[in-house]
Chains A and B, each alone.
Chain A
Amino acid sequence: MSSPTVLELSRWQFAVTAAFHMSFPAITVGLSVFLCINYALYLRTRDPVYLQIYRFWRKIFAVGFALGVVAGIVLTFEFGLNWGVYAHDVGPIIGVIIGMEVATAFFLEAGFIGIMLYGEGRVSDKVTMIANVMVALGTLLSTTWILAANSWMQTPTGFVRVNGQFQPKDWMSVLFNPSFPHRILHMLFAVLIAATWLIAGISAYYLARGRYRPFSRRSFSIAMGLLAILLPWQLFIGDNVASTMFQYQPAKLITLEGNYNSRNSGYNVLVIPEPWADKDLFQITIPNLSALLGPHDLSGQATTPGIDTIPADDRPNIYAVFYGFRVMFYSALVMFATALVGLYLRLRRKLYTSRRFLRWVTWTTPIGVLAIIGGWITAEAGRQPWVVYGQLRTGSAVSHLASGSMIFSLAGFVCLYLAMLTVWIAYVVRQVMRGPDPIETMDIQPSNPPGGDPASQEQTAGSSATAPAVMTSAMGSGMSEARP
């Protein structure tokens, strides 16, 4: 078998490459939906501001999507490269699910993205719309399959083991395993929120400087409206995820609570654990809060089970799980509070003018992505030491490799990915600095009715009223303000 170093290096390599990959879909899945909505609004109203929003975000989407694809190919190969035993044992289930993802979702995106990005002027705007819908559908389907596969690894059901290999017995119960319904919803909301927050942050940056007025105002209005709807739901869904987790993967929930004994009913805001001594060196705790959040005990007396109830060999890494969760949870709370303040400011008609609020949203631009990465660290590190929970240990799933190979590949990935991250951030910043193309110089397809005259701001706000119901309510009072 392989040496412990190879296992550790393989785990680090997977963590680095998976987290890096994740940060792209975290943005592009939501962006593809946002692009769809804007293009649909444009076709409906022929208001060029929607087209301007669409084209600006499409540029960022295009590069993010391409980088996500490349980083995703790496992951597909890594399952076999570094985790050969895992590939052999779960192939009949996970390999098939990932295969379905590639066939039904990934190729849909790959086939239509070219038309979406380069098709304008070559195809009618209806075909462009279809391409947009297909790409968005593809990204959503893709998320669904991946979550089905990952959820099966968290809560495996519907299989038999033959000579160590997992073989599907009942596909319905494989796919709709106990944690899947909650986790897919949680993830879909998360990617929508992360993308919307990115849009809100960049629009806020423009608004605070008074640049690209109709563009930034409308983007910000749509984004803040969507966030005020999405965030409360997300907190509720997250609570459901935690309940399922407590039922099926208690070790993960116990570890993210961060108590070594079972006497605490309070919520640990921060701990400094000493895993080698089975205790927390230092704790900041809000009394009774955990009882309320966890088992929903209004008396506040219910205590959380401690890590000492988990056999020593089956404990996840407390640093990763506790802090991964805190990063996600605190980010969610910050976003929720910000969305509420945004709603309040909108009602007070100060949403576009409160400089302090705009600056705050600008500074928090990447917070949604941060929350997603924190959440995935919790999910994956919390499953350890299992790769298939309760069935296959990570330590026995690793390939027979030389540690030299692992050092070479891990070092290479770290360097390449740091370079790519720099390039990606520089690209986004440059696009933001350059700003959207001015409406006057945009080449708009001749099929436009004369109503879409760029100069008539009145027309713009008025015709938006025909937008779909959700959008209208999301934009609510923002629209009346959009009038000059």
Chain B
Amino acid sequence: MSADIWFAVVALGLVLYVTLDGYDLGMGILALSQRDDARRRSLLDLVAPVWDGNESWILLIAVGLWGGFPAATGALLPAVYPAVIVMLFSLIGRGVSIEMISNADRWPKAWGRVFMVGSLLAAFAQGTVIGAVVGGIPLGAGSRFTGGTFDFLSGYSVLTGLATVALYALAGAAAVKMRSDDAALRVVFARWGRALTPAAAALVILAAALQPATGASGLTIGQPLRIALLTWAGLVAAVMFVSAWWSFGREDHDNLAFVAVAIAVAAGVAGVAVLFYPLILPPDLTIARAASPSSSLDFLLGGFGPFIPLVIAYNAYAFWVLRPRRRAAAAPAQAKERSA
């Protein structure tokens, strides 16, 4: 029971990370679409104050898995070593470049490239890890990984990598709509959002559709309850994608696109959790067998659990305090001018 609750906590960490760091990685990816340094800079200015707060959620996943499911951590990470290393290198380079660019007066070309390519690679690497896990990681004796270096890389994990890139870029476009006060930027990325919504949705649907063919043998979607829950997750995600697409076409409802993407991500993660349960690392490592003993889980639930709402509360406060100030009525007027 406490292992299942903890599994839900790790899933919550995944939702928060994908939504929050997803959007600022997505802004880095979107910067690649712009030729104008000033516009890249506007994107970076949105990322600079929040990136390390957003990125820190990856630690909730990492330590949540390690403390709660040490067998899964010890098996998974060596199996996806190259992907995680590429992700770490990208996150490091990107973090440094953000600080460097914010402290520079102009747009330094080289650092700018590190920022954009780093965002892209980090997103892609994370996506391949998800694909590798869904595809299944066979383990040796004592739940240890004994396979080869590139076993994790397959057509399917490349597909999930691309889907992740598209999803993050979409979250980035939605966050621009929500947080930017730069009218021109909002117009450009509303257009991108309009295009990215169907693209991301298509890639996600493709990945979901191919899962039964390429997924690990331990995963089944047979049981009625599982089918019902998966259907619901799919429906929620579909409604959210449509809402985001609708919102990108309008000049009001600034928060809707981002909220919709966040809920779609939550539905997606919930769907994967439903698909996996009771496994944590397909094809055969179960939540129960990977879990720490109850003396550890109870300590985590009692000590860690109460902090999660608190952490979310003060992060939300900071997020609100540091929101860019809107130049109230001026913004929509300018936007019209531009689009005309």
**A interface residues (Cβ-Cβ under 8 A, vs B):** 63, 66-67, 69-71, 73-74, 76-77, 79-82, 84-93, 95-104, 106-108, 110-115, 117-119, 122-123, 162, 164-165, 167-169, 171, 399-402, 404-405, 408-409, 412, 416, 419-420, 423, 427
Contacts and interface: CB of A to CB of B under 8 A. Distances in A.
A80 B67 contact: no
B82 interface: yes
Contacts of B99: 63, 66-67
Interface string B51-74: 011011011101111111111011
B76 A80 contact: yes
A104 B307 contact: yes
A86 B144 CA distance: 11
Contacts of A400: 78, 144-146
Contacts of A420: 92, 96
B222 interface: no
Contacts of B308: 103
Contacts of A402: 148-149
Contacts, number: 222
B88 interface: yes
A85 to B, nearest CB: 6
B66 A84 contact: no
Interface of B: 49-50, 52-53, 55-56, 58-60, 62-71, 73-78, 81-82, 84-85, 88-89, 91-93, 95-96, 99-100, 103, 142-146, 148-149, 292-293, 295-296, 299-300, 303-304, 307-308, 311, 314-315, 317-318, 321-322
The 7 closest A-B pairs by CB, nearest first: A91-B70, A88-B74, A95-B67, A80-B77, A95-B66, A99-B67, A399-B78
A167 to B, nearest CB: 5
Contact of A87 (B70, B95, B146, B318): B70
Contacts of B71: 88, 91
Given A95-B73, A110-B53, A404-B149, A73 B88 contact: yes
B321 A123 contact: yes
Contacts of A423: 96, 100
Contact of A91 (B67, B93, B95, B318): B67
A95 B300 CA distance: 10
A313 to B, nearest CB: 24
Contacts of A102: 59-60, 63
A273 B2 CA distance: 53
SS of B interface (majority): helix
Given A73-B91, A122-B321, A423-B100, A171 B295 contact: yes
B318 A171 contact: no
Contacts of B295: 92, 167-169, 171
A98 B85 contact: no
Contacts of A107: 56, 307, 311, 315
B85 to A, nearest CB: 5
A289 B190 CA distance: 74
A79 B66 contact: yes
Given A73-B91, A103-B304, A106-B59, A87 B81 contact: no
Given A67-B99, A74-B88, A107-B307, 19 more contacts: A67-B95, A74-B92, A79-B73, A80-B66, A90-B70, A95-B68, A95-B73, A96-B292, A99-B66, A99-B68, A99-B304, A100-B300, A162-B293, A400-B144, A401-B78, A401-B81, A405-B81, A409-B85, A412-B89
Nearest to B103: A427
A427 B101 CA distance: 12
Which one of B52, B82, B103 has the highest number of Cβ atoms from chain A below 10 Å of its Cβ? Answer: B52
Contact of B59 (A63, A76, A401, A427): A76
Which one of A162, A399, A402 has the highest number of Cβ atoms from chain B below 10 Å of its Cβ? Answer: A399
A70 B92 contact: yes
Contacts of A85: 74, 144
A81 B84 contact: yes
A108 to B, nearest CB: 8
B75 A84 contact: yes
Given A114-B53, A167-B293, A91 B66 contact: yes
Contacts of B304: 99-100, 103-104
